[in-house]
Amino acid sequence: MHPMLTIATRAARAAGQTIMRAYTELDRVEVSSKGINDFVTSVDKEAEATITYQIRKSYPDHTIIGEENGENRGDNNDYIWIVDPLDGTNNFVRGIPHFAVSIALQYKGKIEVAVIYDPVREELFSAVRGKGAKLNDFRMRVTNVNDLTSTMIGTGFPFKARQHTETYMAILAEVFPLCADIRRGGSAALDLAYVAAGRLDGFFEIGLKPWDIAAGDLICREAGGTVTDFMGGHNYMVSGNIVAGSPKVTTQLVKTMRPLLNEALKR
């Protein structure tokens, strides 16, 4: 799978160049709404086209699922690339330098290769199944903590699923006193990468999409982390409700959250 990691890296860096060129001229970026509190820019689309081009050059028969263009079906459905060309679009549009390119390769239903690239800091988080996770050329590991005391927990507000606001706020009120502090960065891909790098001890969010999660899921697990849904199961790619962290942190977050969940979040 290493040649595919090379292609994923090349595609992520090429998309990063496209994004950073536009970042210096934000007044020229076209922004449109694709739903309530959900925005897309001309840069998202251009970056996704760049990634698709790089993948298609080497693997013309693979299927590509992108956030902006949906499914680009190839003849080979065993290999599926899951792409978020610009995770953290709202940050990008506002000039906040915290966003990333996320690319994952799924083979027969399992994520095998993952790359998350932060073009602002030129940080490349990557993983190959069974081979560990890296930040640029250095191995990453999640933190080794036994309880939530002194932990830094990442999260994201459910701004696209506001029907869960009350439950989310109840969870936040329960988790916050147990940890040292909470961060809300605005890019789920980078949150998961930061858990893998030991910058965050844990992370939880409601209502994410597969392209938000796919790469960060493998990177986090290959760095020794645990990834579950809110019930401690493995339905997070379907439900979009995710908890990640070092193993004991994930366990304690799930234990804290579970009694507060509404019925929709138990699935």
The CA distances from residue 181 to 18, 76, 155, 156, 257, in Å, are: 34, 45, 11, 14, 17
- Residues 90, 92: Cα–Cα separation, whole Å: 5
| 147 annotated as ligand-binding | no
Nearest-CA neighbor of 8 among 87, 94, 106?
106
- Residues 125, 121: Cα–Cα separation, whole Å: 11
| 67 annotated as ligand-binding | yes
Termini Cα distance of the chain: 33
- Residues 222, 168: Cα–Cα separation, whole Å: 28
| 115 touches 8 (CB < 8 A) | yes
| 84 annotated as ligand-binding | yes
Beta strands 76-87 and 70-72 are unpaired
| 71 annotated as ligand-binding | no
| 193 touches 48 (CB < 8 A) | no
Nearest-CA neighbor of 45 among 56, 58, 60, 34?
34
Annotated binding site for Mg(2+): 67, 84, 86-87, 212
What residues are designated binding site?
67, 84, 86-87, 212
